[in-house]
Chains A and B, each alone.
Chain A
Amino acid sequence: MSERGQVGLVLVSHSAQVAESVARLAQDLTPGGGHAPLAAAGGTPDGGVGTSAERVVAAAGEVDRGAGVVVLVDLGSAVLTVRSLLADEDELPPDTVIADAPFLEGAVSALVTASAGGDVDAVRAAAEEAYAYRKL
């Protein structure tokens, strides 16, 4: 493990309440006291439903500890906004990646892994492996 900080997580939802609630749930389900930096970027600045690139950029800056940032997204414009920001090298912190993962399950797995000191690849993989968890 390097001397850099933990991997940061950003949860991007169309809804501020969804992003914040999923963040809270992931924190509640992460064992131990301290957890990796986590920020919710939900809804639009005027309180509406949608995706705000400015909120995503601010949230990524907030959780960046130099170890990379993993972004989880819900639907449609959240996915497209983050992917278009990633296409522009200087918008998001270095080593920011999008996880192709279910939003809630992925957030929980990612936060547990990041809090345990996993690197950005491990955190993204943990989020993406959440697809394999079958419910039936």
Chain B
Amino acid sequence: MSDRNTEAKWDSNRARHWMAAAARAMTENEQRLTELDSAIGDADHGGNMRRGFQAVTSALDTAQDEGQLTGPGSVLTLAGRTLISKVGGASGPLYGTLLRRVGKTLGDEAEVDPAVLSEGLRAGVEGVVKLGGAAVGDKTMVDALQPAVDALESGFAAASQAALHGAEGTVPLRARKGRASYLGERSVGHQDPGATSAALLLGALAEVAGDE
């Protein structure tokens, strides 16, 4: 990918492409997420993520038709609100808070620099940490998200790689937050489904960031 591409501004269309790419990734990986979640959770993560992001893309289509999407901030705020209202598991409020916080950081601008989106992602992950109370090492989505935002200075592709690496690193961990924490030692040896879906969301971002 060229410098010109990675430095391109983010407008509402590009933000919608990110959400569409995320919806595709969640759909393609639904079974894998559900399998991971059946090992240490309640086997609903794949379906929740697919349904949640499909609801996001359809809410965005409607809002686009009605002329409500004036910039990337409005796209991501609506995406976040949709996840909170449509997903019955903890992933809804957590991913919803993440995206809504990104959206609010971007504000009402018609387009923003990638650096502003990075700033939004840092604020979003802070919001997730505050809401869920998880730290790195607790075997949650934070194990993918925190390394990702720490790598943002090197670009979205680097952040995506860091998220993947972080998700893989949850395998030997013992869960200390979320449903899996009820399992104690039995959670060891399985990759965390939330960290896995977080890496998919960052992967979709990197895909769209390098795509134009």
Point out residues on A near B: beta carbons under 8 Å: 44, 48-54, 57, 76-77, 80-81, 83-85, 87-88
Which chain A residues border B44 with CB–CB below 8 Å?
Answer: 50
A80 and B132 contact, Cβ closer than 8 Å, known pairs A87-B97, A88-B81, A88-B100:
yes
For B127, give the chain A residue with the smallest CB separation. Answer: A87
Most buried by A among B44, B92, B179: B92
| Chain A residues, Cβ within 8 Å of B86 | 53
Instruction: Give the chain B neighbours of A87 by CB distance below 8 A.
Output: 97, 127, 131
Residues of B within 8 A of A88 (CB): 81, 100
Chain B contacts for A44, CB-based, 8 A:
88
- Docked CA distance A59–B94 (Å): 22
- Please name all residues of chain A whose beta carbon is closer than 8 Å to the beta carbon of B84 when the two chains form the complex: 53, 81, 84-85
CA of A88 to CA of B131 in the docked complex: distance in angstroms? 13
A88–B96 alpha-carbon span in the complex (Å): 11
Of the candidates A48, A57, A76, A84, the one whose C-beta lies within 8 Å of that of B178 is: A76
By a CB distance below 8 angstroms, the chain B residues around A52 are 85, 88
Chain B residues near A57 (CB, 8 Å)? 85
Chain B, interface SS category: helix
The size bracket of the interface on B is: 10 to 19
Q: Are B88 and A48 in contact (CB under 8 A)?
A: yes
B88 and A51: CB pair below 8 A?
yes
Contact of A50 among B81, B88, B132, B178 (CB under 8 A): B88
Q: How far is the CA of A51 from the CA of B85 in the complex (A)?
A: 9
Rank and list the top 6 A-B pairs by shortest CB-CB distance, nearest first: A50-B88, A84-B93, A77-B90, A80-B93, A44-B88, A53-B85
Q: How far is the CA of A51 from the CA of B89 in the complex (A)?
A: 6
- Chain A residues with CB under 8 A of B94: 80, 84
Binary interface encoding of chain B residues 36-57 relative to chain A, with 1 for a CB under 8 A from any of its CBs, else 0? 0000000010000000000000
A85-B92 Cα distance, complex, nearest whole Å: 11
Complex Cα distance A80/B48, Å?
15
**Contact, CB under 8 Å: B93 / A81:** yes
If A85-B84, A87-B131, A88-B81 touch, does A50 touch B100 (CB 8 Å cutoff)?
A: no
Contacts of B85 in A (CB 8 A): 52-54, 57
> Within 8 Å CB of B131, what residues of A?
80, 83-84, 87
Q: A50-B88, A51-B92 are in contact. List 8 more A-B contacts (CB 8 A).
A: A48-B88, A51-B89, A53-B93, A57-B85, A76-B89, A77-B93, A84-B97, A87-B97
